[in-house]
Structure 1
Amino acid sequence: MNGTAPVLPASVGEPAGDPGAALKVLYVDDDPALGRLVQRQLGRLGFEVELAASGEEGLARIMAEHFDVVALDHYMPGRDGLDTLRAIRALACSPPVVYVTGTQEGRVAVAALKAGASDYVVKEIQADFIELLRAAFVAAVEQVRMRQAHEAAVAEIRAARDRFEALAAERALLLREMNHRVGNSLQIIVSLLNVQAGAAEEPVVKEALDAARNRVSAVAQVHRRLYTSDQIATVALDQYLGTLLDDLQVSARGVPAGHGGERGVALSFEADPVHIDPDRAVAVGIIATELVINAMKYAYPGGQGPVRVRLARLGEQVAFSVEDDGMGFDAPQPAQSTGFALSTGLGTRIVRAMASKLGTEPVFEPRAQGACVRLVFPLADRRKP
């Protein structure tokens, strides 16, 4: 043994005023001779040792002042060691307790550890007892400080998480407000285009304004859905397309078809649940608008027929298609057509441009009767890092 003082590093929440001071120990034992021996021997090692002759006295001292560690004898008159240990552990800021017993019975040590003792030492009047007691004191205090450091780190992590969650909630609120305002602004544009189309006298002008209105409406639908949804990073594509197609069918009722007849298209929609990012949802919505409007106008001139829209989840890919049983791609189209039978048509160019944003190309599938346009694109945007 040497005379180096048992000084431990400072810790978060350390109750002692001077973290560099020697450990302050309370030795509780009804044997005054042994108490003085422990006080003298540990004092030489740099400990500050105070004595208490009973469990009651020891508990009162602990409640009145700070001790880094307590040594507690098992056999004492009145309140014994286990009873005193339980009372110490019940305190709000209890120091670590090293249990001291003169018995070799393992049940006493087990009972002390279960009651909350940090360690135990068998009492023997020899040099090993002092050394074991010293080592148990240092280990007990270090264990407390490590636990305090861990608790402080956990508290800091929780505080950082709470700050992050607060910032995320604020960001989500701002994004919803932004989507709300953008959606309202786009809806105003849709209304203006609708009024302008109603006032137009030239059929070509009216058709162009109607097409522009439908395209803007497809974008506005995404922003309205982001504003009303709990999710701000993704759009439920199946729900978005369902609402968009309902709007397209309502807006198309009673409007003359491409060959002079009345539209009688029966629009159906089948979809698997699919979530994608808002930018790519806009691209799919504009593609759907172009394909469905084209089919409504030119698939069944002067007659009626079905237009089927499908959205399917294929693992990590999505398949989207619009098909009809009408005239097909090779049928003659009117001069003002923006349909997909003309490879130079505006609608075709828009569909190809939006498909490139999805990382794919539209496939115009040949049919014995009717037409089908199909796109298969990845569920996640592979162009993003």
Structure 2
Amino acid sequence: MPLSESRILYIDDDEGLCRLAKRHLERMGCELTYALSGAQGIELARATSFDLVALDHIMPGMGGLETLELLMALPSPPGVIYVTGSDETGVAVAALKAGAVDYVVKTGSGDFFELLTSTLHQAAATLRLRQQKEQVEQQLRETNAQLEALLHEMNHRVANSLQMVSSLVSLQSRRATGQEARAMLQDVRHRIQAIGRIHRQLYTGESYHAVNMRDYLEGMARDLAGTFSSENIRRSIKVMAQDASLPAATAVTLGVLVNELVSNACKYAYGREESGEVRIRFDLEGEDGYHLRVEDDGVGLGEDHGPQGTGLGSQIVTAMARSLGAIHSFSSPGKGLQVDIHRAPSAPKQAGPSANGQDG
């Protein structure tokens, strides 16, 4: 706001100087109130919201620095111009560190009032910029809160919609006449659930943008173990994962990968009447690398090493790994099958050579 619209308080025990300052500033259209002690100034500042305060350093009783501390403790502290003597530069620095906007040196000439007025103008401009900055920051906070609320609602709606689609697919699979059709619809349902779990975690968790991989994989493991187990045959799925978060888009792709690999292990690694275990391991490497391993103790790779079933799962694994910039491999180091998905961490940026030709 312009200086003429600012409410100004002058705190100084020299009443004559206060009257001169009041007369000088009122000729410029400013409104100035003065107090003859620090205690009186604090009382006025608590009763009336002042924009600017000119505060003298040396006063009987409560000195300038003590008064400044109390002014800064107000709910809406004013901009303070600290008035010092010509040999009190160190005091001015202490006042600036304590929260004063600026300082002015008191002199016995009329130049003091011109200097005080100029400093008050600058302080008013500084406060105006500060208020504008605070308003913009508040608007950004409000906008961010609105966007987070919208994102929360979006994840909630997406999760509910995917759950409805999953239920419809499940209903359709029960009505399918062929065994192969039922199995395919069940696979589709698992893929939908893998994606839906991400959105459920996003709207129920602490973050709207990242997914805790250990919680996510453990939840998926429980769902898949329940699907592929029966009263007599058990598919035990164990998760060994770091308590680490990944961006939602990356977590979705990894979730689809894990779903395919675990589903294939549950269906093909063990006999129909045989219980078995599937293990999921996940570790971060560096800032953006990771290693995913799904392994079982089943029959391992066949002689032709070809995919079992329709082969769609293998195609999905290949496509998902490629989209992540990861490499995948299948091996049978002993008993069973081991599938590794590995994305190497990005190389750290090297500092360029300095201007003198030497490394920085």
Q: How many Å apart are 1:183 and its aligned residue? A: 1.2
Pair 1:14 & 2:14 matched? no
1:302-346 CA distances to partner (integer Å, 9 max, x unpaired)?
4233211111122322211100121112257999614xxxxxx21
Query: For the pair shown, which has the larger CA radius of gyration, 1 or 2?
Result: 1
Kept in 1, the 8 Å contact 2:295–2:338? The answer is: yes
Aligned counterparts, 1:284-303, within 5 A: 284-301=254-271, 302-303=273-274
Cα deviations by residue, 1:142-181 (Å, 9 ceiling, x for unpaired): 3333333333322222221111111111111111211111
Q: What amino acid is aligned across from residue 31 of structure 2 in structure 1?
A: H
Does structure 1 retain, via aligned residues, the 8 Å contact 2:159–2:200? yes
The correspondence for 1:310, drawn from 275, 281, 296, is: 281
Deviation at 1:226, TM superposition (A): 1.5
| Matching residue's letter, 2:247 | D
Q: Retained in 2: the 8 A contact 1:280–1:357?
A: no
Are residue 233 (structure 1) and residue 199 (structure 2) matched?
Answer: no
From 174, 178, 184, give the equivalent of 1:198.
174
Q: Which structure 1 segments of 5+ residues have no match? A: 1-8, 17-25, 51-60, 71-81, 100-106, 123-129, 256-261, 339-344, 381-385
Match of 2:164 among 188, 194, 211: 188
Amino acid across the alignment from 1:329: L
Match of 1:272 among 231, 238, 242: 242
SS of residue in 2 equivalent to 1:238: helix
Quote how far apart the aligned CAs of 1:221 are: 1.0
CA contact (8 A) 2:38 2:62 kept: no
Question: 1:111: how far off?
Answer: 7.9
Q: Matched residue of 1:96: which SS?
A: strand
Distance 1:137 1:291 in 2: 81
82, 96, 103: which one aligns with 2:54: 96
- Deviation, 1:230, is 2.8
The amino acid across from 1:315 in the alignment is G
Match of 1:356 among 302, 319, 322: 322
Find the partner of 2:117 among 141, 145, 153.
141
Q: Does residue 40 of structure 2 align to residue 87 of structure 1? A: yes
Asked if structure 2 preserves the Cα contact closer than 8 Å seen for 1:273 and 1:313, the reply is no
Q: 2:294 aligns with which of 310, 313, 322?
A: 322
Structure-1 separation of matches of 2:313 and 2:248 = 22
Deviation at 1:204, TM superposition (A): 0.9
Matched, 1:151 2:127: yes
Where 1:273 maps in the other structure, the secondary structure is coil
Contact 1:98–1:136 (Cα < 8 Å) also in 2:
no
* Residue pair 1:98, 1:121 contacting (<8 A) in 2 also: no
Change (3 A) 1:287 1:120: same
Deviates more, 1:349-358 or 1:90-99: 90-99
In structure 2, C-alpha distance between the alignment counterparts of 1:378 and 1:162, rounded to whole Å: 41
TM-score, length of structure 1 as denominator length: 0.66
Letter in 1 for 2:84: D
Change in CA separation of 1:365 and 1:108 when aligned onto 2, cut-off 3 Å: same
Would the aligned equivalents of 1:98 and 1:140 in 2 still touch at CA under 8 Å? Answer: no
Match of 1:118 in 2: 83
Judging changes above 3 Å, is the alpha-carbon distance between structure 1 residues 113 and 186 closer, same or farther for their aligned structure 2 residues?
A: closer
Gaps of 5+ in 2: 69-81, 88-105, 347-360
Counterpart AA for 2:118 = E
Distance verdict in 2 for CA 1:49–1:136, change over 3 Å? closer
1: distance between equivalents of 2:158 and 2:175? 26
- Return 147-156 or 319-328, whichever deviates more: 147-156
Quote the Cα distance in structure 1 between the aligned partners of 2:4 and 2:216.
Answer: 53
Q: Give percent identity, aligned residues only.
A: 25
Q: TM-score, normalised by structure 2?
A: 0.71
Residue deviations 1:235-262 (CA, integer Å, cap 9, x gap): 112211111111111111239xxxxxx7
Task: Please say if residues 222 and 281 of structure 1, whose CA atoms lie closer than 8 Å, have aligned partners that are also in contact.
Answer: yes
